[in-house]
Amino acid sequence: MERTKHLTIKRLKGICKRLDDRRRPWGNKRHELIDVIVIVLLGMICGCETWQDMRDYGIVKRKWLRRFLKLPNGIPSEATFRRLIGTIRSESLEQIYREWVRPYVGGCYGKQVCIDGKSVRGANRRGAVKLHMISMWVREDGISLGQIKTEEKSNEITAIPQLLDSVDIRGSVVTIDAMGCQREIAKKIIGKEANYVLAVKKNQPTLHKELAEYFQWALQDKMEGQRLNRYMEKSFDHGKNTTWKLYSTKDTVWFDSKHEWASLRSFFMVERIRKMRDETTVEQAFYISSLETDARNFLRYARGHWSVENQLHWMLDVAFGEDACLVHQANAPQNLALFRKMALTLIKQDTTYKASVRRKQKMAGWDNDYALTIIS
């Protein structure tokens, strides 16, 4: 078992060897780039959030780390961690991440692929360019397939097609929030042999208005109402009773701009009714899709999309302190965002203990063997 765990470290080091070391060849390279990367990854698995944390982790675990790292000049300083991680080309690191994570996913066929953006708030300081990351999340596996950087939330429109081009999504159902409800994005998804479910909000004013008017009329008209596919689901969480009602239709002929949306086959509306004590709120959301399926599946996709918020973005903030991280120089913010996703994937894949991510991080920090179990 010990040999297997060390072979896993060896595989990770082998993949990372393909990263370009951008330090000057004639410079004094006192530390191996691969050593720095492995310490950063292990440190994040054990709860490290800052360069100082990683330095301290390396010092405390120095004797153990020497079993599989060279460490020719001991543990790097905080400045060395900051400088080396900042010099790694993010595109190269992203390619290596996708290769590393592929065995955990296998393929996307029959799965839901959620695409959503998140701003790294701590990196947006001291006049630095705003950092907004677009992530691709496989709901069934609970794994991020990759990410791409944008400078503003509005740039998601151009970034999403680039992310789609980087991953094989054949046979999947791609769900995107309103910012991704664009004709070219729908066309790109169909061209990649996948299907789409796109949220429609007021950034598509004509489409949003027509869908709202159609479902308002359809629910009041007796004949049209009978043609709607319906499904209802109830849940109780955090003191709130929530009722989900979904209405879908395959009748898209009336939509004048149908030919502009690739393979458009269905419209659906989700009505969410929340009751908490004496207060009741009603929200309606509209979607377009290339699928022809029943209302129950449409609700599964609509609700499933929020797993990227609850299981990825929320965990990155709570367990890894992403929003509080003040790293903002060079490529370091984007690279650290990728290391966090890598660490989260490894922790969630571990089935040795049934515990929260935070508990597993603490246990990995206390027990070296458990840290290696996670990384293997």
Q: What is the pLDDT of residues 185-199, one digit of tens each?
A: 999 999 999 999 999
- The closest alpha carbon to 169, from 201, 199, 137, 147, belongs to 137
The one-letter code for the residue type at 302 is A
Residue 286's pLDDT band (cuts 50, 70, 90) = very high
Alpha-carbon distance of 9 to 4, in angstroms, equals 9
Q: Flag whether the pTM goes above 0.85.
A: yes
Alpha-carbon distance of 312 to 117, in angstroms, equals 11
Place of tokens 């290696």: 372
- Cβ neighbourhood burial of 111 (10 Å; 0-12, 13-18, 19+): middle
Residue 128's pLDDT band (cuts 50, 70, 90) = low
Q: How many residues make up the chain in this entry?
A: 376
Residue 27's pLDDT band (cuts 50, 70, 90) = low
pLDDT greater than 90 at residue 173: yes
pLDDT value, residue 326: 79
Place of tokens 């080091």: 13
Alpha-carbon distance of 120 to 275, in angstroms, equals 33
What's phi and psi for 80, nearest 5 deg?
-70, -45
Alpha-carbon distance of 176 to 69, in angstroms, equals 42
Q: Of all helices (H) and strands (E), which one includes residue 210?
A: helix 205-220
Output the CA–CA distances (angstroms, integers) from residue 219 to 85, 202, 224, 293, in the order listed. Answer: 56, 22, 7, 20
User: Which of 103-107, 157-161, 273-277 has the weakest average pLDDT?
Assistant: 103-107
DSSP per position, 253-322:
TT-TTGGGSTT--EEEEEEEEEEETTEEEEEEEEEEES----HHHHHHHHHHTTHIIIIIIHHHHHTT-T
pLDDT value, residue 321: 87
